[in-house]
Structure 1
């Protein structure tokens, strides 16, 4: 693995633990010689994770749609910044640049990115690891819901197991190293 894409909020959230989790993930990425690929913003957890990666001497690559360059305030000191025409190009470019995906706490955009990349994995469009850093129990409800959907036979076991979860960034990155994508499933 060379780069990890991090999905997270353009807001810092309501708890200091979220910022601490973003910084801990940034330090773990740099300690494992992994570059950061993220949404390119200077705001919220996005800005916190990128700045910590840069402060630790790591590589931070942002990908942001031109419509959000001023709204989300593109980070001015990134290693590299790609400006795309729209959100679809943003997500495709982030996926292309990344060898794995981690969601920190975030809102609707974070959820949408997380579920889209999981769906791409389910459809075998990629075979890269996907996980959530469950800071302060933020993803407990989502993980319980996915388990419920699995128990109701809407998510197959191999697809439910695609989403990894940990409270420690090192633990999550270690799990990424041994990830094996599920076999291609015929939908008939």
Structure 2
């Protein structure tokens, strides 16, 4: 399965890097392919290292102005002309999406993917990996949106909140009929 992961390229605390590394190792051991921003920095590097060391494949989708941060030696690398094209290519190449901790770029990617799913433009499973409670506030806001009628589909059909990598991958594999 090709699993797109949206995440930060920043160097982060162990409470975020440890769960990311654990998920990456599960991905690699499961024979899955990481589809991600292609960066060799910060949390992106941690995840790519984990997937590669555990036997998984790496497919990067960078953007022209960040291509100087691209990881060398990937199984495949695409360079998009802008962020909009990059997001479209990431989704196109993925069978499923996982959102890890990140900043504004990660949040932008997550909300666009969820908005597209909400409107039926894709049916791929989406997981928010809630490492160290990072997405607790967003989870609460989304529950409120669901309860107050702002979502045309139930929140449980839109996104799965996972507290750890094991439950995230189990959900994705079950959604794909691999379990």
> How high is the TM-score relative to the length of structure 2?
0.92
d(CA) in 1 for partners of 2:80, 2:153: 36
Kindly state the Cα deviation for residue 151 of structure 1 after the two structures are TM-superposed: 2.2
Superimposed CA distance per residue, residues 20-51 of structure 1 (whole angstroms, 9 cap, x where no aligned partner) = 11111111111222100000111111111011
Superimposed CA distance per residue, residues 36-78 of structure 1 (whole angstroms, 9 cap, x where no aligned partner) = 00001111111110111112221011100111112xx111132
* Worse-matched range after superposition: 97-106 or 24-33: 24-33
Residues 147 and 160 of structure 1 are in contact (CA less than 8 Å); yes or no, is this contact kept in structure 2? no
d(CA) in 1 for partners of 2:50, 2:170: 20
* Unmatched segments (≥5 aa) in structure 2: none
Residues 63 and 90 of structure 1 are in contact (CA less than 8 Å); yes or no, is this contact kept in structure 2? yes
Superimposed CA distance per residue, residues 80-122 of structure 1 (whole angstroms, 9 cap, x where no aligned partner) = 2111111111111111110000011000110111111111111
Match of 1:61 in 2: 59
d(CA) in 2 for partners of 1:68, 1:59: 21
Match of 1:41 in 2: 39
d(CA) in 2 for partners of 1:159, 1:166: 14
Stretches of 4+ aligned residues off by more than 4 angstroms: none
d(CA) in 2 for partners of 1:149, 1:83: 35
Residues 1-188 of structure 1: matches in 2 within 5 Å?
A: 2-13=1-12, 15-70=13-68, 73-159=69-155, 161-179=157-175
d(CA) in 2 for partners of 1:7, 1:175: 17
Which is richer in helix? 2
The alignment covers a number of residue pairs equal to: 176
d(CA) in 2 for partners of 1:157, 1:86: 30
CA RMSD of aligned residues (A): 1.6
* Unmatched segments (≥5 aa) in structure 1: 181-188
* Worse-matched range after superposition: 170-179 or 73-82: 170-179
* Worse-matched range after superposition: 40-49 or 76-85: 76-85
d(CA) in 2 for partners of 1:109, 1:160: 24
d(CA) in 1 for partners of 2:175, 2:155: 13
